[in-house]
Amino acid sequence: MSRFQKAPVWALALGVLAIVAIVLFGLGKLAGETLPERNGPPVEALRVEKTVLEPGQIDLTLRNAGPDEVTVAQVIVNDSYSNFSGGEQPIPRLATETLDIDYPWIGGNPYEIGLLTSTGVVIPHTIDAAVETPKADGGFLLSMILIGVYVGFIPVTLGMLALPVLRRGGRRWTSSLIAFTVGLLAFLAIDGGLEALNLAAGGSGVFGGGALVFLGAGLAFLGLSGLDSWLKARRKRSRDSGASAWSLATMVAIGIGLHNLGEGLAIGSAYAVGELALGAFLIVGFAVHNTTEGLAIVSPLAEEKVRPWRLLGLGLIAGGPAAFGALIGGSVTSEELAAGLIGFGVGAIAQVIVQLSPAMKDAAGKLLNPANAVAMMAGVLVLYLTGLLVTL
């Protein structure tokens, strides 16, 4: 038997990847040295990723999206040259730089800003209506944590407390409730995806623009699907080996907590970049959905003696990550990155829909019986009407 046949599969795979990486790196170096020098003027593509307005000052966060270095020589605001600091050194490709512009702006007025580079190119930027930017201070971060609690911990805990009532209603009522949730989530996924694409279109485009939304959604869906399968296998093995019902409920809570982390990221990033209506929309949708997640957590405890403090512990495991996700998302400054995080939340929603759908089946094994179809339409209409009522 040869050495290759004796080697483990993972070692062979790593060896192949190493060879491919070395060859591609060598090709890249060789191509860079053999290609002729590029002629013509430099390609300058600065993008404004963030605008912060403070009294008497406008701060612009710039990113170089082009292949060549860029130096900002002058700043023009409404046809007048303005003093500024920052950007004295050339900005390398993909690097960021913040310009602090001294200008006595007036609230509510529009402003046209021109960034004059060292080669004479003018890069425009428009402020439609000047408004002082709220600071991400301790109060803002505390608000993000509270939002995570509202979306995660409280609804999940309420869902667990409602289990006895739903148990009396029977399978039909439970199936209709889940169908209502699926309709609500389907509308939320579509609306959130469209908002994320619009947000990405207004970003720098350096990291892929709209493609970042689909990348985030795909990674969330595939990653959470794989994790869900792994947790289900763990639960099955634990059940077969005689594990306690509380152990099974804890595993379910961990899986749901990871879903809620993605939801918190989506909400926090929407607020961080000023998409207040979308943030409120996500809060309402996720809060209603997370109430039904509490039922999934306590389902293994049907025959167990339930203690309130242990239920609160499960609610913290499942709902707490939403607060952590909102805290991280609330610190995002790039519209493009925020769009990717909202896309991550959309992928998490899609995975939850796939996860919940089998529970909609009636005694005959049908998903879309009349009751479920009506419940799904009600979910879509409720969230649509909720969006119309959100005024911020």
SS3 366: coil
pTM of the model: 0.66
pLDDT higher than 90, residue 162: no
Q: 210, 204, 200: which is closest to 63 by C-alpha?
A: 204
**What integer pLDDT is reported at residue 168 of this predicted model?**
62
For the residues 254-280, what does the mean pLDDT come to? 69
Segment among 162-166, 250-254, 263-267, 365-369 with least mean pLDDT: 162-166
Q: 226, 193, 206, 224: which is closest to 341 by C-alpha?
A: 193
Q: Which residues are 53's β-sheet partners?
A: 58
How sure is the predictor about 250, in pLDDT bands with cuts at 50, 70 and 90?
A: confident
* 57 contact partners, CB below 8 Å, separation of at least 6: 100, 101, 102, 103
Count of CB atoms within 10 A of residue 5's CB? 7
Angle between helices 154-161 and 308-329 (to 10 degrees): 150
**What integer pLDDT is reported at residue 244 of this predicted model?**
56
pLDDT higher than 80, residue 62: yes
Percent of all residues in the chain with a pLDDT value above 70, rounded to a whole number: 73
| Between 269 and 83, the higher pLDDT residue | 83
Segment among 11-20, 81-90, 155-164 with least mean pLDDT: 155-164
Q: Which amino acid is at 234?
A: R
Segment among 149-163, 265-279, 318-332, 354-368 with least mean pLDDT: 265-279
Cα angle: 65, vertex 68, 72; to 5 degrees: 80
At 312-321, the pLDDT tens digits run 888 888 888 8
Q: Cα–Cα distance between 163 and 176 in angstroms, integer?
A: 15
In CATH terms, the superfamily for domain 46-127 is Immunoglobulins (2.60.40.10)
**What integer pLDDT is reported at residue 382 of this predicted model?**
73
**What integer pLDDT is reported at residue 112 of this predicted model?**
93
**What integer pLDDT is reported at residue 75 of this predicted model?**
92
Residue-wise burial string across 179-217, b where 16 or more C-beta atoms lie within 10 A, e elsewhere: bbbbbbbbbbbebbbebbbebbeebbbbbebbebbbbbb
pLDDT higher than 60, residue 389: no
- 135 to 59, 249, 274, 276, 292: CA distances (angstroms): 13, 40, 12, 15, 35
For the residues 172-198, what does the mean pLDDT come to? 76
pLDDT higher than 90, residue 113: yes
* 69 contact partners, CB below 8 Å, separation of at least 6: 42, 90, 91, 92, 93
Q: 123, 82, 126, 79: which is closest to 104 by C-alpha?
A: 82
How sure is the predictor about 295, in pLDDT bands with cuts at 50, 70 and 90?
A: low
pLDDT higher than 70, residue 210: yes
Segment among 66-75, 95-104, 271-280 with least mean pLDDT: 271-280
Residue with tokens 């694409």: 197
Length of the chain measured in residues: 392
pLDDT higher than 50, residue 230: yes
Q: Where are the beta strands (DSSP E) in the chain?
A: 46-54, 57-64, 72-77, 80-82, 84-85, 96-102, 111-117, 122-127
* 125 contact partners, CB below 8 Å, separation of at least 6: 48, 51, 60, 112, 113, 114, 115
pLDDT higher than 80, residue 101: yes
Segment among 241-250, 335-344, 357-366 with least mean pLDDT: 241-250
* 82 contact partners, CB below 8 Å, separation of at least 6: 75, 76, 101, 102, 103
For the residues 64-83, what does the mean pLDDT come to? 88
Output the six-digit token pair for 98: 């913040």
Cα Dmax for the chain = 81
Q: 256, 258, 239: which is closest to 247 by C-alpha?
A: 239
**What integer pLDDT is reported at residue 390 of this predicted model?**
47
Mean model confidence pLDDT for the chain? 76
Going from N- to C-terminal start, the domains of the chain cover: 3-34, 46-127, 138-389
- The most confident of 111-120, 308-317, 349-358, by mean pLDDT: 111-120
Three-state SS sequence of 81-110: EECEECCCCCECCCCEEEEEEECCCCCCCC
